[in-house]
């Protein structure tokens, strides 16, 4: 029951806004010592503003504690005699207030009130702090280094010789700076930071800024003092004490870039250096603003909850997100490292230089950074073909956004758990997809000059959703406007109008329909002669037009949709903006087919009438290259989405993908394969041998040619290599004999050489999986897991180990993950997912989650990436009625699908085919 509540909380987070806090009068809330706490809101008062932090911090890597002091220069905007700021799990030893000459306002040590449920403390000043005057707040504090992944936390690694070493690192976003120092921990409070760190002689200290000087302070200790930072939000502060090795290089503009890793992984850092140098240079040009710090570090931390973090000047990464070993890592690993670096470096502008005012607009950071991964890699690494993956980003967003439980891109978030939940596919992926739609609408140049304007306007400051839309287009005179310039006219009549395909558009109004309203539109198209009858509605899974709740769920939903389409008679894109529920377009001539949403650059799904689908199915069959690979992939995607929404029959979708036998592009192939595989996975669990076998044969007939064509090597472009990785893994998973034989052969030679020969990196995971199926192979891989010095290799071993069909072995793995020594706790969520997707393991994983729920939540707090992956990883494997009942669903079976609602009938948990 407990778990169910959490799942529902997670899905319905947008309705659970805490309201009592902001309304209760001051004084009702009691501090830990029983005295009234002077502030009742979750957010800090705005009339005390931090200006400059002087921080001294000393982590002791033997006692695993840290002590620190902070002197904060504050600006007082209203007279007051108390200061409220954030602090979490810190012991405050002393607190004083100093005047502008740094004289104490009182001889007495001031009392500090603590209000843990808001993670706040209050300090009373003996004298009124007067508006307009300058003061300093001085606090001394200490705490154990945190055991998890937030605040100032402990991380460990093992050397080849078996020695365990400790380091201390920070992760603050969104609300954990307060675990390392008392501070004003909200993004709007930008300040300068001067950091000093104490350390022993065998360690180095790092922070956002370059080292200014080191002083020996006795007792074998050193104090490193760092240059004063630029103005930034508290969540971007970072410091690390470790014994890592590094490589450095300099950009053309003189920025010193350094990659750090544990000493024995030093040789895996070189690729990241090259990528960071090239990507930073790209961003400086693209944004037309130089990177403002003298240095940028990228460091691989052995224990890391997320994938990476953009701390200004000191970006931190999970080892798999930064380290690349050319002999062991695969093509996908390389792409991943490059994308993560592209993402974190984009944040140095989007997020660090310009920050959202509050977490409700976190998409301004994350949506942009996700989108810039694609823009930057396309420009800097065209050979990686990153554009092949962009559609997957939008497909992921659509998966979530077509459920009623989705949320608008900008939505309310007040307390830390709600804030943490904002880092989801809506902020990241939907954010990126609507930016892509906007860029296609404004043209690349228009988009780029718009965001340059935005960055200049808000640098070192904060912005909201509307500020972005206001900055995107320059204002111009009526004459310029009439002459067709891309600009807003400043005259009243056409104010905020923007010219698009000859029409005048209000861009802000248009973008509000995408950011303030949840969901994704479905465009319906009926063709009669030269007329196209177009309609828009909200695309929803589960609720069909004949359902009583249909109308209320549609009510009020309307988007301004930039439509594009191609026809059999036009090889260029036609454009039209749809701002009403329905519209009629007239084509120049009669055509054989129409395909809307060219290259799926727009964030909407398209449903054609019977003839429309027939014409496109026929076109794919006869001449599929008449459509771009993105158009082909999006047709497959749209068709299957419509199937899961009960709007198109499964047979129609299967007809559409019938052409895949002649498809050679990896994107549509993998799209089709993905849907077929998800059917297979569901059937496989039902243990009906003949159906499983028939389905396997059915799927293999589509892909046998592609499989047979593959070489077991690393040859070819990244896209060829990714296709090889996927189809060979599928072939062996389906027990396709030629695949098993080849994999077994490679596995044996690898074992015989005791791991000395290197396997082709793209197929190594498949080879290990085949090897892990017997006792000795499994034991050998576990042993290799324990000694490998390459995290990407280890993740392939782990995935092979978790594919064993022996449930005892799977239980042992989960136990090892819980224990956290051989398998690090950071890898537990993905291990649980790996076990859950194994047909033998899915109950096991679920039982494990239920049994260890309390411990799991302790390791991965509610709202965190970790716990969300654990929940989603296990429950999405469910498809039988018993399983759905297990997670407390009330469900209905409708038109060949199982549909699962939560108790309140507002959120859909699953839609599954039966």
Q: Which residues are annotated as a binding site for Zn(2+)?
A: 343, 347, 366
Query: Each residue of 533-549: b (16+ CB within 10 Å) or e?
Result: ebbbbbbbbbbeeeeee
174 or 431: whose CB is closer to ligand BES?
A: 174
Q: What is the DSSP letter of 429?
A: I
* Contact window for ligand BES (CB under 6 A) among 47-55, 339-347, 463-471, 853-861: 339-347
Selection from Zn ion, ligand BES, none that 340 binds (CB < 5 to 8 A by kind) is ligand BES
Phi, psi of 142 (to 5 degrees): -165, 165
Neighbouring residues of 164: CB distance < 8 A, sequence distance ≥ 6: 156, 157, 158
Selection from ligand BES, Zn ion, none that 423 binds (CB < 5 to 8 A by kind) is ligand BES
Please check whether residue 525 is in contact with residue 578, taking contact to mean a CB–CB distance below 8 angstroms.
no
Binding ligand BES (rule: CB under 6 A), the pick from 73, 173, 303, 725 is 173
Surface-to-core class of residue 101, CB atoms within 10 Å of its CB (0-12 exposed, 13-18 middle, 19+ buried): exposed
Q: Is 306 in the site for ligand BES (CB under 6 A)?
A: yes
Helices (H), 166-291: 270-287
48 or 339: whose CB is closer to ligand BES?
A: 339
Binding ligand BES (rule: CB under 6 A), the pick from 344, 599, 631, 663 is 344
Sign of CA dihedral 302, 307, 312, 313: positive
Paired strand residues for 656? none
Q: Is 340 in the site for ligand BES (CB under 6 A)?
A: yes
* Contact window for ligand BES (CB under 6 A) among 151-159, 305-313, 523-531, 564-572: 305-313
888 Rama sector, left if φ>0, alpha if ψ -120 to 50, beta otherwise: left
Query: Each residue of 329-360: b (16+ CB within 10 Å) or e?
Result: bbbbbbbbbbbbbbbbbbbbbbbbbbbbbbbb
165 or 389: whose CB is closer to ligand BES?
A: 389
Cis geometry, peptide bond prior to residue 174 (ω within 30 degrees of 0): yes
Paired strand residues for 142? 67, 91
* Contact window for ligand BES (CB under 6 A) among 1-9, 245-253, 259-267, 342-350: 342-350
Q: Is 310 in the site for ligand BES (CB under 6 A)?
A: yes
* Contact window for ligand BES (CB under 6 A) among 301-309, 443-451, 488-496, 738-746: 301-309
For the bound state, the minimum distance from the C-beta of residue 423 to ligand BES, rounded and expressed in Å, comes to 4
366 or 762: whose CB is closer to ligand BES?
A: 366
How crowded is residue 16: how many other Cβ atoms within 10 Å of its Cβ? 16
How crowded is residue 112: how many other Cβ atoms within 10 Å of its Cβ? 20
362 or 823: whose CB is closer to Zn ion?
A: 362
Selection from Zn ion, ligand BES, none that 334 binds (CB < 5 to 8 A by kind) is none
Surface-to-core class of residue 68, CB atoms within 10 Å of its CB (0-12 exposed, 13-18 middle, 19+ buried): buried
- What's the CA gap between 520 and 870, in Å, rounded? 27
Binding ligand BES (rule: CB under 6 A), the pick from 114, 227, 333, 366 is 366
Please check whether residue 336 is in contact with residue 439, taking contact to mean a CB–CB distance below 8 angstroms.
no
Kind of pairing, strands 520-528 and 531-539? antiparallel
Q: Is 396 in the site for ligand BES (CB under 6 A)?
A: no
Binding ligand BES (rule: CB under 6 A), the pick from 59, 151, 174, 760 is 174
Selection from Zn ion, ligand BES, none that 913 binds (CB < 5 to 8 A by kind) is none
Which of 73, 344, 791, 883 is labelled catalytic?
Answer: 344
CA atoms within 13 A on the CB side of 97: 25
Selection from ligand BES, Zn ion, none that 174 binds (CB < 5 to 8 A by kind) is ligand BES
> Pick from 456, 488, 484: which is nearest to 473 by CA?
488
Selection from Zn ion, ligand BES, none that 388 binds (CB < 5 to 8 A by kind) is none
* Contact window for ligand BES (CB under 6 A) among 114-122, 281-289, 337-345, 592-600: 337-345
Sole residue written with tokens 């026929």: 618
Q: How many residues contact Zn ion, by CB under 5 A?
A: 2
Please check whether residue 565 is in contact with residue 598, taking contact to mean a CB–CB distance below 8 angstroms.
yes
3-state class (DSSP) for residue 420: helix
> Please, which of residues 869-908 interact with ligand BES by CB under 6 A?
none
Please check whether residue 80 is in contact with residue 48, taking contact to mean a CB–CB distance below 8 angstroms.
yes
For the bound state, the minimum distance from the C-beta of residue 229 to Zn ion, rounded and expressed in Å, comes to 20
Calculate ∠ Cα 455-460-462, nearest 5°. Answer: 75
Q: Is 343 in the site for ligand BES (CB under 6 A)?
A: yes
- What's the CA gap between 42 and 25, in Å, rounded? 13
Binding ligand BES (rule: CB under 6 A), the pick from 113, 204, 241, 309 is 309
* Contact window for Zn ion (CB under 5 A) among 85-93, 362-370, 508-516, 877-885: 362-370
Q: Does residue 344 carry a catalytic annotation?
A: yes
Q: Is 356 in the site for ligand BES (CB under 6 A)?
A: no
Minimal CB distance residue for Zn ion: 369
Residue 775 host element (H or E) = helix 775-787
- What's the CA gap between 598 and 595, in Å, rounded? 7
Q: Is 328 in the site for Zn ion (CB under 5 A)?
A: no
> Please, which of residues 420-459 interact with ligand BES by CB under 6 A?
423
Selection from ligand BES, Zn ion, none that 38 binds (CB < 5 to 8 A by kind) is none
* Contact window for ligand BES (CB under 6 A) among 121-129, 343-351, 514-522, 812-820: 343-351
Minimal CB distance residue for ligand BES: 306
Q: Is 308 in the site for ligand BES (CB under 6 A)?
A: yes
> Please, which of residues 369-408 interact with Zn ion by CB under 5 A?
369
- What's the CA gap between 523 and 484, in Å, rounded? 29
364 or 636: whose CB is closer to ligand BES?
A: 364
304 or 736: whose CB is closer to ligand BES?
A: 304
For the bound state, the minimum distance from the C-beta of residue 350 to ligand BES, rounded and expressed in Å, comes to 10
Phi, psi of 664 (to 5 degrees): -120, -10
Helices (H), 503-564: 507-515, 550-554
Residues that bind Zn ion (CB under 5 A): 366, 369
Active site members:
344
Residues that bind ligand BES (CB under 6 A): 173-174, 306-310, 340, 343-344, 347, 366, 369, 423, 865
């Amino acid at each position: 029951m407990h778990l169910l509540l959490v799942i529902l909380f997670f899905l319905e987070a947008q309705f659970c806004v805490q309201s009592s806090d902001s309304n209760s009068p001051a004084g009702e809330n009691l501090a830990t010592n029983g005295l009234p706490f002077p502030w009742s809101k979750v957010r800090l008062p705005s009339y005390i503003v931090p200006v400059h932090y002087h921080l001294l911090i000393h982590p002791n890597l033997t006692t695993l504690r840290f002590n620190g002091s902070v002197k904060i220069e504050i600006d007082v905007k209203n007279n007051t005699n108390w200061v409220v700021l954030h602090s979490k799990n810190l012991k405050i030893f002393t607190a004083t207030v100093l005047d502008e000459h740094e004289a104490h306002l009182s001889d007495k040590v001031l009392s500090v009130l603590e209000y843990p449920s808001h993670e706040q403390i209050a300090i009373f000043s003996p004298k009124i702090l007067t508006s307009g005057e300058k003061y300093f707040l001085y606090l001394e504090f200490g705490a154990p280094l945190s055991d998890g992944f937030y605040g100032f936390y402990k991380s460990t690694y093992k050397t080849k010789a078996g020695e365990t070493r400790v380091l201390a690192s920070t992760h603050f976003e969104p609300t954990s700076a307060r675990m390392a120092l008392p501070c004003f921990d909200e993004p709007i409070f930008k300040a300068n930071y001067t950091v000093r760190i104490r350390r022993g002689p065998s360690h180095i200290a790092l922070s956002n800024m370059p080292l200014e000087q080191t002083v020996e302070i006795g007792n074998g200790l050193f104090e490193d003092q760092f240059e004063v930072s630029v103005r930034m939000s508290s969540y971007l502060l970072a410091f690390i004490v470790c014994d890592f090795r590094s490589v450095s290089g300099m950009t053309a503009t003189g920025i010193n870039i350094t990659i750090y890793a544990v000493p024995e992984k030093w040789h895996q850092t070189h690729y990241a250096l090259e990528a960071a140098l090239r990507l930073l240079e790209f961003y400086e040009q693209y944004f037309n603003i130089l990177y403002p710090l003298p240095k940028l570090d990228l460091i691989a931390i052995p224990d890391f909850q997320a994938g990476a973090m953009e701390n200004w000047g000191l970006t931190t990464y999970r080892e798999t997100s930064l380290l690349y070993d050319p002999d062991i890592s695969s093509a996908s690993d390389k792409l991943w490292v490059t994308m993560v670096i592209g993402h974190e470096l984009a944040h140095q502008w989007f997020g660090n230089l310009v920050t959202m005012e509050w977490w409700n607009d976190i998409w301004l950071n994350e949506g942009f950074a996700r989108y810039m991964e694609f823009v930057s890699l396309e420009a800097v690494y065209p050979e990686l073909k990153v554009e092949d993956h962009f559609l997957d980003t939008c497909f992921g967003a659509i998966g979530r956004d077509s459920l009623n439980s989705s949320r608008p891109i900008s939505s309310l978030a007040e307390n830390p758990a709600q804030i943490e939940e904002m880092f989801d596919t809506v902020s990241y992926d939907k954010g990126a997809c609507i930016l892509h739609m906007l860029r296609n609408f404004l043209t690349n140049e228009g988009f780029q000059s718009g965001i340059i304007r935005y960055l200049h306007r808000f640098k070192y400051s904060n912005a909201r959703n509307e500020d972005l839309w206001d900055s995107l287009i320059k204002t111009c005179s009526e004459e310029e406007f009439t002459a067709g310039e891309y600009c807003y006219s400043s005259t009243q009549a056409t104010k905020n109008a923007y010219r698009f395909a000859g029409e005048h558009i209000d861009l802000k109004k248009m973008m509000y329909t995408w950011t303030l309203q949840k969901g994704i539109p479905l465009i319906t198209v009926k063709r009669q002669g030269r007329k196209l009858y177009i309609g828009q509605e909200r695309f929803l899974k589960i609720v069909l037009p004949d359902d009583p709740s249909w109308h209320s769920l549609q009510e009020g939903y309307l988007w301004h949709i930039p439509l594009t389409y191609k026809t059999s008679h036009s090889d260029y894109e036609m454009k039209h903006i749809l701002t009403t529920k329905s519209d009629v377009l007239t084509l120049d001539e009669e055509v054989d087919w129409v395909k809307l949403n060219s290259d799926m650059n727009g964030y909407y799904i398209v449903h054609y009438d019977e003839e429309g689908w027939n014409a496109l199915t026929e076109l794919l069959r006869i001449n599929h290259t008449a459509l771009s690979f993105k158009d082909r992939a999006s047709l497959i995607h749209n068709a299957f989405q419509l199937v899961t929404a009960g709007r198109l029959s499964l047979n129609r979708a299967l007809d559409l993908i019938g052409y895949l036998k002649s498809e050679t592009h990896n994107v549509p192939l993998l799209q089709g394969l993905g849907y077929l595989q998800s059917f297979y996975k569901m059937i496989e669990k039902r243990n009906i041998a003949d159906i499983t076998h028939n389905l396997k044969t059915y799927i293999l007939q589509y892909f046998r040619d592609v499989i047979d064509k593959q070489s077991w090597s690393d040859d070819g472009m990244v896209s060829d290599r990714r296709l090889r990785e996927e189809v060979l893994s599928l072939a062996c998973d389906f027990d396709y004999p030629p695949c098993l034989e080849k994999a077994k052969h490679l596995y044996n030679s690898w074992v015989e050489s005791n791991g000395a020969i290197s396997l082709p990196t793209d197929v190594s995971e498949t080879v290990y999986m085949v090897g892990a199926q017997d006792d000795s192979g499994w034991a050998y891989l576990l042993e290799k897991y324990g000694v490998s010095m390459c995290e990407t290799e280890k993740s392939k071993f782990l995935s092979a180990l978790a594919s064993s069909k022996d449930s005892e072995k799977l239980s042992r793995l989960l136990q090892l993950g819980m224990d956290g020594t051989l398998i690090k706790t950071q890898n537990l969520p993905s291990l649980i997912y790996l076990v859950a997707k194994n047909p033998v393991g899915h109950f096991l994983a679920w039982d494990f989650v239920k049994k260890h729920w309390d411990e799991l939540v302790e390791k991965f707090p509610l709202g965190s990436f970790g716990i969300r992956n654990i929940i989603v990883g296990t429950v999405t494997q469910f498809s039988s009625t018993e399983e759905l009942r297990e997670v407390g669903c009330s469900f209905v079976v409708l038109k060949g699908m199982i549909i699962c609602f939560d108790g309140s009938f507002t959120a859909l948990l699953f839609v599954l085919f039966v």
